[in-house]
Each structure stands twice: as C-alpha cells, then as structure tokens.
C-alpha cells in the first residue's frame, strides 16, 4: 500500500507553556532558555510545569480530582492535540480515532509512605508487617488503587475527550513512546486505521520517581547543564526529569487532505531495537537500524534532533554515533532537546517527533540549545529531520520526519 502518515495535530505541555505555538516560539527565537528548578529537589535539577489551567481541557472537577498529575498532564495534552487537528468534539471522527498511549505506573502517596516508614521505625521488628495494614485503609483514597493502572490515562482521555476507537497502552520508559508512534505509523501504512491519537506524559516532580532514578545512579546533580556537557564529564552526568506531555494526531495523508486538515509533516519511517548495552553494542544496533530505514541520509541533507538524556555512557556513545552519521552524509546540525525541555521518559520520543514537525512546517531549524560548540548553526532547514532517542538505560530508536509535499 502506498499510504503516507501525516502529523495533523500537536499537543505539547511543558515548562515553556502549552500548545505548539508556545513551544515553537520558546525554542526558535534567540538562545532558548530552559525552565529549571534547582532548589526544590536539590541537588537534583528538575524542569517543572508552570501554571496550567487544566479545566480548559478537563472541565469537570470530579474528573480532575481523581487524576494524578501525570494523568492531568496527559489528558490535557491529548485535548490540545485533538483541538489542533480540528477533530475535538467531532464524534464522527472521535469514534474511529484509535489511541496508543505511552505511560508509566501510577504515582505513590508519598505522605502515606513516610507515615508507614516512620511508624515501622518505632515498632517492634516482629510486628512491623502489621503497620501497613493498619495505616493504609484509613489513609489511601479508594481511587488511588485504580490510579496505579498504567492504562488509566487512556481511560481518562476516552472519557473526557470521547475518543472511542481502539485503545492500547505501552509501558517501558523511553521505548514505550517509541512503540506508540511506531505502531500507529505501521498500522496506518498497512491500512489498519486512518486516524490515531498517540503520545505520553510524565510528571518529573515526584519524590518517589526521583528516588527510583537516583538508586540507579541516573540523575544529574548541581546547576543545570546541557546534555552534552554531562556527556563530556565537565558536569555531573544524568538526566534532569521534566514534567511534560506530548500527543500527536497521526492520520493517513489522503484522509487528512479529504477533510482539509492542516498537515505539519510526514513520518517517513520509525526503527527501533534494544541491546545489552555492552560497550559499542548500542552503536552497532543503531547502525543496523539506520541501514534498514527507508531513507536516504547520505545524499539528502538532514538535521538531527537528539533525545539524549545526559545519562552515561549512553549519551556520549550516541553523540559519537551521530557525529559519524554527519561525517558520512551531507552534513547536518544536531540539537539535544533535553537540554531545554528536560527528560520526559515515556513522552520523550513523541516530544522529539513533534519538534521535528514544527521545524519542517515553519521551514526553520532551531538555534543551538547549548554553547559547547557541538551544535552548529544551520542556515536553512532541510526537507527531512532525523529524530534519535536512546533510552537512558535500554533501547535505541530513530524516526525520519519529512516536510509535507517534498
């Protein structure tokens, strides 16, 4: 089948603001300035959300009340994407819009956890297991148990925005976001659907999440730095978590044209895989992926949007690989978008694809996001952008996004 995958709706929410226009303005003019909180969770820098009126996309207070922050972020951002695509509130399209969501598990009630630990620390060891059973029933609201389900985000989107096609949820950190976009792309190309809502959300302002990453030695520390500074060892390596949401409406091109939709760009191909991350194994895996990609990277200029996290050794190995891609091809400029937006884990790959689509639609590539000299100026935006996303621990992926009509 000769079916193309068009991006017709973009929903973005981060510290830079909400919607596609806010992010394009914040990232394309001058030297983009990240929004970073270096004190609230010191010594760990976090990219927080600014003030958000969630009721503009989730009008019912009861719906908002039962959602955890990551679900609010995701449901809000999904609404932005549907509105941008021109199908929000249109049941004719929503009832056949398939949904694929990248999500983590639910958030913990940190105050209750601390109460349990505090009580156990003052309890006889032989009776310590009784404490949680005494504390939890009176402290946890019933909906919290449901909120632990990863597919509750998709359920909330369906309830609030009336998206009632098929629904699928992927878990698995960065690769969940990759799988979501890859699956939708393949299904559209195979004629298994014409309209998809795809994306993910992440709440970076969570003590339990920060603890999990720190136990793995994966968090950046100290003043904010670019992902390439962390890779070079001049700053502490690690990721700087972000509260961020990214959803895309993906649509078969002729279907989009028939309803007069705004087409940002075309997703040409998505490739992904994983390896054991022994030295250079990720590079070999990535090399095989690009060789299998339906793309011409050697004779046609490309820009690169890297989802590098800043965690080592993945970031420095990815950078070396991308430099090699540039040297062997026609030349390109790299941008590590995690420097400005932070790391969105499940939402990180959808963010990169959205940023590529914005640049291609506006026919302008982003100015350098850091000052190390790695990110060169690019006078003209090429007709295609390569989006890379290497997981902080596992997984390597690429998407090729092409200008509509090229």
* 137-144: average pLDDT: 57
Q: Is the predicted pLDDT of residue 55 greater than 60, yes or no?
A: yes
Query: How sure is the predictor about 105, in pLDDT bands with cuts at 50, 70 and 90?
Result: confident
Length of the chain, please?
406
Which pLDDT belongs to residue 108?
Answer: 63
CB atoms < 10 A from the CB of 320, how many?
A: 12
Pairing of strands 5-14, 265-273: antiparallel
Between 79-93, 281-295, 382-396, the lowest mean confidence (pLDDT) is in 281-295
Assess contact for 385 and 304: CB atoms under 8 A.
yes
> How many whole angstroms separate alpha carbon 400 and alpha carbon 402?
7
Per the listing, tokens 């299998």 go with: 292
What is the phi/psi pair of residue 153, to 5°? Answer: -60, -45
Between 82-91, 289-298, 396-405, the lowest mean confidence (pLDDT) is in 289-298
Which pLDDT belongs to residue 79?
Answer: 98
Residue bearing the bigger pLDDT, 342 or 113: 342
Assess contact for 339 and 302: CB atoms under 8 A.
no
310-339 confidence digits (pLDDT tens): 999 999 999 999 999 888 876 689 999 999
Residue bearing the bigger pLDDT, 93 or 215: 93
Q: Is the predicted pLDDT of residue 140 greater than 70, yes or no?
A: no
Please give the mean pLDDT across all residues of the chain: 90
Q: Is the predicted pLDDT of residue 132 greater than 60, yes or no?
A: yes
Query: Could you tell me which residues come within 8 angstroms of residue 4 by beta carbon, excluding any fewer than 6 positions away?
Result: 252, 253, 266
Which pLDDT belongs to residue 235?
Answer: 77
Which pLDDT belongs to residue 173?
Answer: 93
Q: Is the predicted pLDDT of residue 113 greater than 80, yes or no?
A: no
Assess contact for 339 and 242: CB atoms under 8 A.
no
Query: Could you tell me which residues come within 8 angstroms of residue 299 by beta carbon, excluding any fewer than 6 positions away?
Result: 329, 330
Nearest to 336 by CA among 268, 266, 240: 240
Domain residue ranges of the chain, discontinuous segments joined by +: 5-106+148-403, 110-143
Give the predicted TM-score (pTM) of the model. Answer: 0.92
Pairing of strands 5-14, 98-102: unpaired
Q: Is the predicted pLDDT of residue 145 greater than 70, yes or no?
A: no
For 95-119, letters b (16+ CB in 10 Å) and e give eebbbbbbbbebbbbeebbebbeee
Which pLDDT belongs to residue 144?
Answer: 52
Query: How sure is the predictor about 162, in pLDDT bands with cuts at 50, 70 and 90?
Result: very high
Query: How sure is the predictor about 205, in pLDDT bands with cuts at 50, 70 and 90?
Result: very high
Run of H or E including 316: helix 314-328
Between 103-112, 340-349, 366-375, the lowest mean confidence (pLDDT) is in 103-112
C-alpha separations of 295 from 213, 290, 301, 331 in Å: 35, 8, 11, 15
Query: Could you tell me which residues come within 8 angstroms of residue 145 by beta carbon, excluding any fewer than 6 positions away?
Result: none
Which CATH superfamily hosts domain 5-106+148-403? Thiolase/Chalcone synthase (3.40.47.10)
Interior angle at CA 250, CA 174 and CA 49, nearest 5: 50
Of all residues in the chain, what percent carry a pLDDT higher than 70? 89
257-313 confidence digits (pLDDT tens): 999 999 999 999 999 999 999 999 999 999 999 998 877 777 777 899 999 999 999
């Amino acid at each position: 089948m000769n079916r193309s995958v068009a991006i017709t709706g973009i929903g973005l929410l981060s510290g830079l603001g909400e919607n596609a226009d806010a992010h394009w303005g914040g990232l394309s003019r001058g030297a983009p300035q990240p929004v970073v909180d270096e004190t609230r969770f010191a010594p760990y820098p976090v990219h927080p959300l600014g003030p958000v009126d969630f009721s503009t996309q989730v009008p019912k207070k009861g719906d908002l009340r039962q959602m955890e922050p990551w679900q609010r972020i995701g449901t809000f951002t999904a609404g932005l994407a549907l509105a941008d695509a021109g199908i929000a509130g249109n049941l004719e399209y929503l009832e056949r819009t398939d949904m694929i969501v990248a999500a983590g598990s639910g958030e913990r009630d940190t105050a209750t956890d601390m109460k349990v630990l505090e009580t156990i620390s003052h309890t006889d060891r032989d009776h310590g297991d009784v404490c949680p059973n005494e504390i939890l029933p009176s402290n946890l609201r019933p909906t919290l148990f449901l909120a632990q389900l990863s597919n509750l985000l998709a359920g909330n989107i369906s309830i609030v925005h009336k998206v009632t096609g098929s629904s699928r949820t992927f878990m698995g950190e960065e690769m969940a976001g990759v799988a979501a976009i890859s699956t939708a792309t393949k299904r559209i190309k195979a004629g298994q659907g014409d309209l998809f809502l795809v994306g993910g959300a992440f709440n970076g302002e969570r003590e339990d999440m920060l603890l999990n990453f720190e136990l793995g030695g994966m968090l950046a520390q100290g003043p904010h730095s670019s992902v390439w500074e962390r890779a070079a060892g001049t700053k502490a390596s690690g990721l700087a978590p972000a509260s961020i949401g990214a959803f895309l409406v993906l649509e078969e091109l002729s279907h989009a044209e028939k309803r007069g939709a705004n087409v940002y760009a075309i997703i040409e191909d998505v490739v992904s895989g994983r390896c054991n991350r022994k030295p250079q194994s990720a590079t070999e895996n990535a090399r095989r992926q690009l060789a299998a990609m339906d793309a011409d990277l050697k004779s046609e200029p490309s820009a690169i949007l890297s989802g590098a996290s800043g965690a080592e050794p993945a970031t420095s190995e990815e950078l070396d690989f991308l430099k090699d891609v540039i040297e062997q091809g026609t030349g390109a400029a790299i941008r590590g978008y995690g420097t400005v937006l932070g790391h969105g884990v499940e939402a990180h790959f959808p963010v990169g694809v959205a940023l590529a689509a914005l640049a291609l639609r506006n026919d302008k590539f982003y100015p350098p996001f850091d000052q190390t000299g790695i990110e060169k100026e690019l006078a003209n935006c090429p007709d295609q952008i390569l989006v890379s996303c290497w997981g902080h621990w596992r997984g390597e992926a690429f998407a090729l996004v092409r200008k509509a009509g090229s």
